[in-house]
Amino acid sequence: MPAQFRSGRASGPFRTDFWRSPLRGPWLTSFLGTLLVPSITVIAITGFISHWAYHPELPGNATINPAFDIPVFFQLPQSWPSWDYAVTQGMHVTVGLMTLPLVLAKLWSVIPKLFKLPTVRDLAGVVERISLLLLVGSVLVEFVTGILWMEDYYRLRVDFFAIHYYGAWVFGTTFVLHTCMKLPTVRRSYRERGALRPLCESLHETKPEPLGSSELVPVAPATATLSRRGLLAMVGGASLTIFAVQAGESIGGPFRKFALLAPRGRVFGTGPNDFQVTHTAESAQVTEAMTGADWRLTVVGARTMSFSRDQLLAMAQATETLTISCTEGWSTTQHWTGVRLIDLARSVDAAPGSILSAVSVESNWVTNLADAQYRDKRALLALRVNGADLSLDHGYPARVIIPGGIGNHNAKWVRELRFEQA
Amino acid sequence: MLRHFGRRYGASPLHLVAHLIVFAIALFAIDRMASGGGLAEVIALYVGFVIAHDLVFLPAYSGMDRLVRAALAKLPARPPGSVPAINHVRAPALISGLLLMVYLPFISGKADASYFALSGHHIQGYLRNWLLISAGLFLGSGLIYAVRVRRAATTR
């Protein structure tokens, strides 16, 4: 063995006496890992719900090429309340952010393993190191890409959906493997130390775990300056603070203004159109000329009809209270008034089972809606909101509002509705 | 034969099979991530974030913790058994630092151009909010410390 790898001669963090925190040990890492399991499960389930909420089975909607994707397993039922996706995606983002302190604490608890010598003993050691690189790399990439996306500040060249979705595959599989591999260690440390007993120890009772029970236990421990329950309280306090400054943008209503650091935690006024905008008309290059007096809505089914805004306003109007929820995690609930989409479908004798393509004046952007989505009697082509005409930023002259599911389906500045057989 | 494999490999065949399955899925996933071109960026992100966390971020906050402990140790010695101050600095500093890290594009105002394009409003008040929250955390932690010191003094 080369001299520099002999532990007696190792230097810096490679010295076995370099890592001195008396808190590190198999119990602490097991406990942090145990807390991660339910958090990661919630993030994963809500993440897949969001992935499938795009209705990737409809042409043009998929964010990931369906040829290289697993089939749709679950979609939020159309009969659920219109805030279903607000809850699932709000949880994805908020629980995700709240899990960050836990992940960082978990990584802190195992850092001595990175520097243990010899780095690898055998082929199994090499294999484990590669899987840990994938595990830690993917969890960090998931957090960074998710946070940047939530903040409208995603700057990487790799497509967000590709890196975040497939990154979840890498993280999910390595996380399950890692959990299974560490299960014996977790059970042993809970059996020997008690699953919760170390939480009863005050600061002076805080002693290192028995030396030799794991490489994590320091050979030259310092005196504890923090109890294990103190460390967990800090992690929990950090999670709760993040909840306090973030969740209001998903819950909405009077809670929005308490989301002091959330990107969409602002209240801009009390007017009918003063709620959060996904993207402005200016950013979509939609001008007043494109949406002015010349604007007409074309509806295509078994026959084609064309409507001016006044003609749409003369049709039977319905008012529904519906929630728009963005993939970024924020939501807003408003009172929308307009023509029911099912009435427009009937007016052109749309064939049963048709899908609805909503075409926007915004660079002819198209979103496709499933039969069940536009047949929901709450689904509207909204012309007004909270008793006033839609503002240009909110989609004037007309926008689609579908109850439930992803906000992305609520096309703004609609110029054409095509009911077509798939 | 199995024992021979175990000696050569260092773990059970199941260990190898399970890892190979996971590596196959990961390779496929990384290939799909980079399907639009950008394999170098994906690999750089995966390796770069691990290096940034393990060799920069973790040593940086550990080092700051050591500095604070050294500074507190220089204060006049207090009787043994008295309430330690360190965690009343650590807790608010940790939470404040974490908020800064998560919301940096907003607190620094760097995300202003993209945020304005989408929301129609400029970033306003995030730095102030973060400073107020941080001040509140340090103040609250200081108050709890003061109460604990007083209680320790009266029970002694």
CB contact under 8 A, A133 and B41: no
ipTM above 0.85, yes or no: yes
CA A67 to chain B, closest CA, distance in angstroms equals 11
Assess if residue B12 is contained within a domain.
Answer: no
> Which residue from B19, B29, B58 is facing A131, i.e. has the nearest CB?
B19
Whole-angstrom distance, CA of residue A258 vs CA of residue A273:
21
Q: What's the mean pLDDT in A58-73? A: 94
**Measured between CB atoms, which of A241, A277, A282 is closest to B95?**
A241
Q: Which residues of B touch A156 (CB under 8 A)?
A: 41, 45
Sequence letter at residue B134: S
Give the sign of the dihedral formed by CA A146, CA A147, CA A151, CA A154.
Answer: negative
Q: Is the pLDDT of residue A392 over 90?
A: yes
In this structure, the number of other CB atoms found within 10 A of the CB of residue A332 comes to 21
d(CA A226, CA B83): 12
Whether the CB of B26 is below 8 Å from some CB of chain A: the reply is yes
What's the pLDDT score for residue A8? 54
Q: Which domain holds residue B124?
A: 76-156
Q: Which of A6-20, A41-55, A203-217, A383-397 has the lowest mean pLDDT?
A: A6-20
The answer on pLDDT for A180 being more than 90 is yes
Residue A166 lies in a domain: yes
| In a domain? residue B126 | yes
Amino acid A202: pLDDT: 92
Alpha-carbon dihedral of residues A401, A45, A171, A73, nearest 10 degrees? -80
Q: Looking at the domain assignment, is residue B85 inside a domain?
A: yes
Q: Do A127 and B16 touch (CB under 8 A)?
A: yes
Q: How far apart, in whole angstroms, are the C-alpha atoms of residue B28 and residue A68? A: 9
Question: Quick check: is A157 in a domain?
Answer: yes
In a domain, A195, yes or no: yes
Burial (CB count <10 Å: 0-12, 13-18, 19+), residue A270 = exposed
Enumerate the residues of chain B whose CB falls inside 8 A of the CB of residue A153.
105, 110-111, 114-115
Of B69, B114, B120, the CB nearest to A152: B114
Report the CATH number that the domain containing residue A404 is assigned in CATH.
3.90.420.10
Measure in Å the smallest separation between the Cα of A137 and chain B Cα atoms. Answer: 5
In a domain, A266, yes or no: no
Cβ-Cβ contacts under 8 Å for A412 (sequence gap 6 or more): A278, A284, A286, A360, A362, A394, A395, A399
For tokens 């909204």, the residue is A382
Token couple for A7 = 């532990």
A77 has which bridge partners? none
pLDDT of A6 above 50: no
Residues of chain B found within 8 Å of residue A174, distances taken between Cβ atoms: 22, 26
How many residues in total does chain B contain? Answer: 156
pLDDT at A220 over 50: yes
Residue A100 is assigned to a structural domain of this protein: yes
User: For residue A350, what pLDDT band results from cuts at 50, 70 and 90?
Assistant: very high
pLDDT above 50 for B62: yes
How confident is the model over A144-158, as pLDDT tens digits? Answer: 999 999 999 999 999
DSSP code string of A374-394: HHSTT-EEEEEETTEEPPGGG
Whether A106 and A32 have beta carbons less than 8 Å apart is answered as yes
Residues sharing a CB contact under 8 Å with residue A287, sequence separation 6 or more, in sequence order: A281
Cα–Cα nearest to A52, from A43, A60, A42, A61: A61
Q: Are residues A94 and A190 in the same domain?
A: yes
Residue A16: the pLDDT is: 86
Question: Do A245 and A325 fall within a single domain?
Answer: no
A226, A83: one domain: yes
* DSSP conformational letter for A73: -
CB pairs under 8 A between A and B: 194
Here the tokens at position A158 are 């790799």
Flag if B119 and A276 touch (Cβ within 8 Å).
yes
The answer as to whether A273 is a domain residue is no
Is the distance from CB of A322 to CB of A378 less than 8 angstroms?
Answer: yes
The DSSP bridge partners found for residue A305 are: A299
Of the candidates A408, A409, A348, A398, which has an alpha carbon nearest to the alpha carbon of residue A376? Answer: A409
Residue A124: its pLDDT value, please?
A: 94
Report the chain A residue with the minimal C-alpha distance to residue B47.
A137
Nearest to residue A240, comparing CAs of B95, B43, B28? B95
Question: Do B85 and B72 touch, CB atoms closer than 8 A?
Answer: yes
B69 at A interface, C-beta within 8 A: yes
pLDDT at B4 > cutoff 90:
no
> CB-CB: which of A140, A237, A279 is closest to B49?
A140
**Does residue B140 fall inside a structural domain?**
yes
In this complex, the residue of A140, A173, A203 whose CB is nearest that of residue B26 is A173
Tell me, yes or no, whether B112 lies in a domain.
yes
Query: A376: burial class by Cβ within 10 Å (0-12, 13-18, 19+)?
Result: buried
In a domain, residue A271? The reply is: no
| Per-state percent for chain A, helix, strand, coil, to nearest 5 | 45, 15, 40
Beta strands in A214-365 (DSSP E): 297-300, 304-307, 318-325, 331-340, 355-360
Residue with tokens 């794991």: A214
Judge whether A277 lies within some domain: no
Secondary structure of chain A as H, E, C letters:
CCHHHCHHHCCHHHCCCCCCCCCCCHHHHHHHHHHHHHHHHHHHHHHHHHHHHCCCCCCCCCCCCHHHCCCCCCCCCCCCCCCHHHHHHHHHHHHHHHHHHHHHHHHHHHHHHHCCCCCCCCHHHHHHHHHHHHHHHHHHHHHHHHHHHHCCCCCCCCCHHHHHHHHHHHHHHHHHHHHHHHHHHHHHHHHHHCCCHHHHCCCCCCCCCCCCCCCCCCCCCCCCCCCHHHHHHHHHHHHHHHHHHHCHHHHCHHHHHHCCCCCCCCCCCCCCCCCCCCCCCCCCCCCHHHHCCCCCEEEECCCEEEECHHHHHHCCCEEEEEEEECCCCCEEEEEEEEEEHHHHHHHCCCCCCCEEEEEECCCCCEEEECHHHHHCCCCEEEEEECCEECCHHHCCCCEEECCCCCHHHCCCCEEEEEEECC
Nearest to B58 among A108, A125, A260 (CB): A108
**B82 pLDDT more than 80:** no
What pLDDT does residue A121 have?
87
Q: What is the arrangement of strands in the sheet containing A414-420, beginning at the earlier edge strand?
A: A304-307, A297-300, A414-420, A355-360, A366-369
Shortest CA gap B22–chain A (Å):
6
Residues A315 and A166 in one domain: no
Instruction: Give me the number of domains chain A comprises.
Output: 2
Question: In this complex, which of A153, A233, A241 lies closest to B114 when CB atoms are compared?
Answer: A153
Q: Please give the single-letter amino acid code of residue B135.
A: A
Cα dihedral sign for B105, B109, B114, B119?
A: positive
Paired sense of beta strands A318-325 and A366-369, if any: unpaired
- Per the structure, how many domains does chain B have? 1
B136 inside domain = yes
Whole-number Å distance between alpha carbons of B34 and A166 = 10
Question: Does residue B108 lie in a domain region?
Answer: yes
- Name the domain boundary from A202, A234, A253: A253
Question: How sure is the predictor about A7, in pLDDT bands with cuts at 50, 70 and 90?
Answer: very low
Question: Which residues span the domain enclosing A205?
Answer: 3-253
Give the B window 70-99 contacts with A, CB below 8 Å.
Answer: 84, 86-87, 90-91, 94-95, 98-99
Classify A368 in phi/psi space as left (phi over 0), alpha (psi -120 to 50) or beta: beta
pLDDT band at A170 (very low <50, low <70, confident <90, very high): very high
**Chain A residues touching residue B45 (CB < 8 angstroms):** 137, 141, 144, 156, 158, 163
Are both A200 and A123 inside the same structural domain? yes
pLDDT at B106 exceeding the cut of 80: yes
Residue B118 falls inside a structural domain = yes
What is d(CA A90, CA A406) in angstroms, rounded to the nearest whole number?
12
Whether B19 sits inside 8 A of A137 (CB atoms) is no
State the pLDDT at residue B1: 66
What's the CA gap between A124 and B7, in Å, rounded?
Answer: 10
> Is residue A206 a contact partner of residue A228, using CB atoms and an 8 Å limit?
yes
Which of A226, A253, A280 is a domain's end point? A253
Q: Does B46 touch chain A (CB under 8 A)?
A: yes
Q: Given A200, A229, A253, which residue is the final one in a domain?
A: A253
Give strand pairing partners of B71.
none
Neighbouring residues of A183: CB distance < 8 A, sequence distance ≥ 6: none
